[in-house]
């Protein structure tokens, strides 16, 4: 059946402004695009340990599908959530099927009709989508601009205010000044929510995330951890108080009306966390690669085109969809999987190439990718 005309027009508009997306095909290219920062999705040890754990504990005999409030709450959830909470020094953890699900669940359920949500303009789409479902009022503040944030806070002196940010933004790879943000929230009695999707496995001695690494986690109302990046597996978790967990179980529709993850998926999360606790070499190798990437890009004179970042995400601004896509294709033709981010995802003139650094990237690969970028630009 033919696509409805109005949908076809939207596709045609994407073609005209060079923003049409296609599913990538991976043909033995050097990975500078995936979120598998410390290579856990490739880990044979984790793969073997998951299956051994399921067999040894006969978990496969106890699993059932369904909502966790009906038949899907197998015993492994309790074990995994307790381990995650302990790992992150949180009172409680609640597992969701994905980071998108976790953000939709939290922001659609927690802020109430008379509350106010103030969010960074570069927050992930899943956060914005969750806020849009909420009955609370919401306003965006300029990226990492806490003067603008305080201006907004002062407009609502008698209302409960939630402040939402990310510890590392996937669009830029940069981070907010969390110490300043916490101080501002305490000054005005606000509740802070931090999405830590891009810091798990990256920041901290055990890869515990940025806010915990900075010892600010106990001043944050909720942290959202996505497992599909640093842990290389499926799912996500919301960290907070025991009362917050109880509230989400009772009022988060994404939790109530979704089939829970299979025992195999939850076992993978648990084993990946256990591996993260002891896998200091992989985290340190990633940290060294990030330092090396920054040093070499500066040496090649590329620093002005890159957004400042100490994370695993590094973005080179290449204005114009056509220019960004052309550079993406040239790098991919040379065997380097670097992805472009195009408008309207980012504002016009802020199109970019995003380099994701991994512990398994070699210094030679980093050299070659950056040298090709320099040659294409200059």
Q: What is the set of domains in the chain, with CATH numbers?
A: 44-278 (3.40.640.10), 280-377 (3.90.1150.10)
The token pair at 90 is 């949180």
- What integer best gives the mean pLDDT of the chain? 94
Q: Which helix (H) or strand (E) segment is 339 a member of? A: strand 339-341
The radius of gyration of the chain's CA atoms, rounded to the nearest angstrom, is: 21
Q: What does the alpha-carbon distance between residue 359 and residue 31 come to, in Å, rounded to a whole number?
A: 11
User: Which pTM was predicted?
Assistant: 0.93
Q: pLDDT tens digits, the chain, 378 residues: what are they?
A: 888 989 888 888 888 887 887 777 666 789 999 999 999 999 999 999 999 988 888 765 555 678 888 888 888 999 999 999 999 999 999 999 999 999 999 999 999 999 999 999 999 999 999 999 999 999 999 999 999 999 999 999 999 999 999 999 999 999 999 999 999 999 999 999 999 999 999 999 999 999 999 999 999 999 999 999 999 999 999 999 999 999 999 999 999 999 999 889 999 999 999 999 998 999 999 999 999 999 999 999 999 999 999 999 999 999 999 999 999 999 999 999 999 999 988 899 999 999 999 999 999 999 999 999 999 988
Q: Is 226 left (phi over 0), alpha (psi -120 to 50) or beta?
A: beta
Q: What is the pLDDT of residues 152-177, one digit of tens each?
A: 999 999 999 999 999 999 999 999 99
Q: What's the rounded Cα separation, in Å, for the pair 259 and 272? A: 22
Measured CA to CA, the distance from residue 209 to residue 89 in angstroms comes to: 11
Q: Give the distance between the most distant pair of CA atoms in the chain.
A: 61
pLDDT at position 178, please?
98
Q: No. of H helices and E strands in the chain? A: 14, 12
Please confirm whether the linkage preceding 182 is cis (ω < 30° from 0): no
pLDDT digits (tens, 9 = 90+) for 2-53: 889 898 888 888 888 878 877 776 667 899 999 999 999 999 999 999 999 8
The candidate with the shortest Cα–Cα distance to 160, out of 201, 103, 226, 110, is 110
With CA atoms as reference, report the closest residue to 105 among 220, 279, 251, 294: 251
Which spans in the chain are helix H?
A: 5-16, 44-56, 75-87, 99-109, 125-133, 146-153, 178-187, 210-213, 242-251, 253-256, 263-278, 280-299, 321-333, 363-377
Give tens-digit pLDDT for 63-73.
567 888 888 88
Buried b (16+ CB within 10 A) or exposed e, 70-86: eebebebbebbbebbbe
């Amino acid at each position: 059946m033919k696509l409805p005309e109005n949908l076809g027009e939207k596709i045609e508009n994407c073609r005209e402004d060079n923003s049409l997306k296609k599913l990538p095909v991976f043909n033995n290219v050097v990975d500078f695009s995936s979120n598998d920062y410390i290579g856990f999705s490739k880990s044979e040890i984790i793969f073997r340990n998951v299956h051994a754990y399921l067999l040894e504990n006969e978990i496969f005999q106890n699993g059932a599908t369904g909502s966790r409030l009906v038949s899907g709450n197998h015993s492994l959830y309790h074990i995994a959530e307790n381990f995650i909470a302990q790992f992150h020094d949180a009172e409680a953890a609640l597992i969701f099927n994905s980071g998108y699900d976790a953000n939709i669940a939290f922001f659609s359920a927690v802020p109430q009709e008379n509350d106010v949500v103030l969010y960074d303009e570069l927050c992930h789409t899943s956060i914005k989508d969750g806020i849009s479902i909420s009955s609370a009022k919401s306003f965006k503040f300029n990226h990492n601009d806490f003067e603008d944030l305080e201006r907004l806070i002062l407009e609502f002196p008698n209302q409960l205010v939630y402040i939402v940010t990310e510890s590392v933004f996937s669009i830029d790879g940069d981070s907010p000044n969390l110490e300043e943000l916490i101080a501002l929230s305490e000054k005005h009695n606000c509740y802070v929510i931090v999405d830590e999707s891009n810091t798990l496995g990256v920041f901290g001695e055990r890869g515990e995330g940025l806010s915990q690494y900075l010892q600010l986690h106990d001043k944050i109302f909720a942290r959202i951890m996505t497992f599909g990046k640093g842990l290389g597996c499926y799912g996500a978790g919301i960290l907070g108080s025991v009362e917050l967990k109880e509230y989400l179980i009772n009022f988060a529709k994404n939790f109530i009306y979704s089939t829970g993850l299979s025992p195999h998926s939850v076992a993978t999360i648990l084993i990946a966390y256990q591996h993260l606790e002891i896998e200091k070499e992989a985290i340190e190798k990633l940290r060294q690669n990030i330092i090396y990437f920054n040093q070499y890009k500066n040496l090649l004179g590329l620093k002005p085109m890159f957004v400042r970042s100490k994370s695993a995400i590094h973005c080179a601004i290449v204005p114009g969809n056509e220019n960004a896509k052309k550079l993406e294709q040239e790098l991919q033709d040379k065997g380097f999987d670097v992805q472009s981010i195009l408008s309207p995802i980012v504002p016009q003139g802020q199109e970019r190439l995003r380099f994701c650094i991994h512990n398994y990237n070699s210094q030679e690969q980093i050299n070659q990718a950056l040298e090709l970028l320099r040659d294409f630009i200059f």
